[in-house]
Structure 1
């Protein structure tokens, strides 16, 4: 009997040894960025300031797929931030400006139209007035100020804050797209905009440093989407064939700008990893999965016209500035899950879901989220 008991004990020890490392448990999510992450802040901001800006995310068919009603998200359903919350077993991250309830399980500071650079800086660069939505005080620095305002309600002493934020997950981006769009609106060409990419990336890197200083330990930093594939830019361009990549139908020079942004951002992250070895900084790639969707749409279950939007009206890409998604007489496609783009800029829930899984398990995150969770 003694020998049998020892054998059972040895077997149990063996089982314990082969068990996978326990996942890191996140108790809260804090998010910063623009419309790819906004869950309602822009609507609240516009109402609080009594601004004459039509947001449309409070109108059907926004939100039709998952929520079955408008949910203040620029999509037909969930965003990557929502899938992240579900993965961690947390509630969807509430918009900070709504000031609803307790933010112990996280807060979303992202605002649609937000830029990395402050509006005053953009004005100096463009020598013109920023577009209305990018002239709001919602840039990355303002979002960081809101986080600092919230922090005393979450923790007080350094030790307490370190313990709290050790089990928090931070999302910084996507952000930068609106900076570049604003420069284009104000007449800068791609070569001129390239000159300011390091300034945008430095601003994002400084935000990451600031969050680490405040106690952040795990941070997800998404790069730029392929701008040259966005229907909004495609519809504003000439039909000169040399402008387009024949493999995707996207505009080459805009995609080169996105790649340059992502190259600098990844290098900045690598430097930050060396400087802050205790922090886990994940680079998340939007560019490569989206390019794959456009090049091989049927492989992912998307329509054979991948650059057409689901919710829009008119033209080659089913999008034009006078008939936007959410406006009267503008309807959505029958099955959004077969489309990549929901409106002229944003993605469908299906596209977000594919990208999220590629960040969670790889190969489009360095390291994958699930690996960063391992202690």
Structure 2
């Protein structure tokens, strides 16, 4: 039961406006790819098709903003939602669960998605059967199949996508999190370059479709998540960062991924000088909150979950019978074992908007 609850989270993995320091360039639409950090409801469709339990489709998910579950792995809005609001666009609809127009954007992200093809992970004991075919390549095919409903002929599509904002990821966390159940960290580090190459190739693919602004987020500090702290504790006190209390080796893995990703993005930018290819830091904002929570308005147990209490009781995960919910989600960083609260996503979105506004190739 403990493991099943943990795997569910791997699959699903404050008031005041979000405002950046400069006026945001106006975009006509947003197209988003990724995993549970950006999924706005595709998981409901995908999981149902595979007869899998989907905790994010049950209360108390969505309780803070929507008042009901939406398939988002949070108590409310995600970073992509805050960014859409700041741009004056509707919340980006999930491509598999929306019955309407996608002219102002579409979200192809799915909880549990990998960067690389899912076949790389199906031989991993226990988690292999949960490696669903929703990787970055699959999401790009969904995007390409949607194009005829957005624009035609090809010349019109180029102009249409010139005015769109693209988000490529976050990808990578599931590639590494699933692998932790069957590989050691040395083995996992060995395929980080391939994961990064897959992301940079996907970025170039949307550029060939006409994208002029592509934001590529890195991954958050994996060693700080309550789920990983519970599932992979270190027997050596030196295995924890004394400043943050996070698992050093897992955070080092995230730092390695982000370093290679930034190098890859620079190469893509060099090849496409008329395109903005922007790295969005997902690591530093989380560390900021972990190290200085009260300064940033977070007062709860910073390495604990608001919902499900993974660090205490992993058998009663968020959305499952017996789960507990904290009194004030806005005071917490983590909503469930591996995902963030609306308050955290608001802070992340603010940083990303500033990066987009101030970007110079």
Kindly provide the CA deviation profile for residues 41-65 of structure 1, in whole angstroms up to 9, marking residues without a partner as x. Answer: 1111122x2x231111121111111
Taking a change above 3 Å as real, the CA distance of residues 22 and 342 of structure 1, as seen in their structure-2 partners, is closer
**1:180-259 equivalence runs, <5 A:** 180-186=176-182, 188-236=183-231, 237-259=233-255
Higher relative contact order (CA 8 A, sep 6+): 2
Cα distance in 2, alignment partners of residues 145 and 217 from structure 1: 19
Q: Is the 8 A contact 1:57 1:326 kept in 2?
A: yes
For residues 177 and 343 of structure 2, the distance between their equivalents in structure 1, rounded to whole angstroms, comes to 25
8 Å CA contact 2:24, 2:87 repeated in 1? no
2-structure distance, mates of 1:110, 1:225: 17
CA–CA separation in structure 1 for the residues paired with 2:230 and 2:116: 26
2:118–2:135 CA contact under 8 A, matched in 1: yes
* Superposed CA RMSD: 1.9
Which residue matches 1:33? 34
Matched with 1:66 is: 65
Q: Which residue of 2 aligns with 1:16?
A: none
Helix, strand or coil for the counterpart of 2:30?
Answer: strand
Cα deviation per residue 1:109-162 (whole Å; 9 max; x = unaligned)? Answer: 000000001012334xx56575343x2110000000000100111122232111
Contact 1:309 1:319 in 2 (8 A): no
Separation in 2, partners of 1:292, 1:319: 26
| Mapped pair 1:282 → 2:278 | yes
2:147 aligns with one of 140, 144, 151: 151
Counterparts of 1:58-137 in structure 2 under 5 Å?
58-123=57-122, 130-133=127-130, 135-137=131-133
TM-score of the pair, normalised by structure 1: 0.87
- Could you tell me which residue of structure 2 aligns to residue 165 of structure 1? 161
Q: Equivalents in 2 of 1:371, 1:303: separation in Å? A: 31
- Paired residue for 2:7? none
State which structure, 1 or 2, has the greater radius of gyration over its C-alpha atoms: 1
SS at match of 1:185: coil
Following TM superposition, where does structure 1 have runs of at least 4 consecutive aligned residues deviating by more than 4 angstroms? 126-130
Q: 1:242 to 1:279 in 2, by over 3 A?
A: same
3-state DSSP of counterpart to 2:55: coil
Distance 2:255 2:243 in 1: 17
The 1:55/1:154 distance shift into structure 2, 3 A limit, reads same
* Cα 1:250/1:22, change in 2 over 3 Å: closer
Q: What secondary structure sits across from 1:57 in the alignment?
A: helix
- Name the CA shift for 1:184/1:334 in 2 (closer, same or farther; >3 Å): same
State the number of aligned residues. Answer: 339
For the residue of structure 2 that corresponds to 1:117, the secondary structure is coil
Corresponding residue number in structure 2 for 1:14:
none
Match of 2:292 among 289, 296, 301: 296
Q: Which runs of 5+ in 1 are unaligned?
A: 1-20, 362-367
Aligned residue for 2:335, secondary structure, equals coil
Cα deviation, 1:23-82, whole Å, max 9, x if unaligned, reads 5321111100000000111111122x2x23111112111111111111210000000010
**Is 1:326 equivalent to 2:319 in the alignment?**
yes
Q: CA deviation at 1:301?
A: 1.5
Q: Give, in whole Å, the separation in 2 of the partners of 1:131 and 1:347.
A: 25
Are residues 1:355 and 2:348 paired?
yes
Q: Contact 1:310–1:318 at 8 Å: present in 2 too?
A: no
Secondary structure at the aligned position of 1:220 is classed as: strand
Equivalence for 2:333: 340
Structure 1 residue 206, shift from structure 2 partner: 0.3
Q: Distance in 2 between matches of 1:28 and 1:329?
A: 41
- Structure 1 Cα separation of the partners of residues 214 and 102 of structure 2: 18
Specify whether residues 23 and 224 from structure 1 end up closer, same or farther in structure 2 by C-alpha distance, changes over 3 A only. Answer: closer
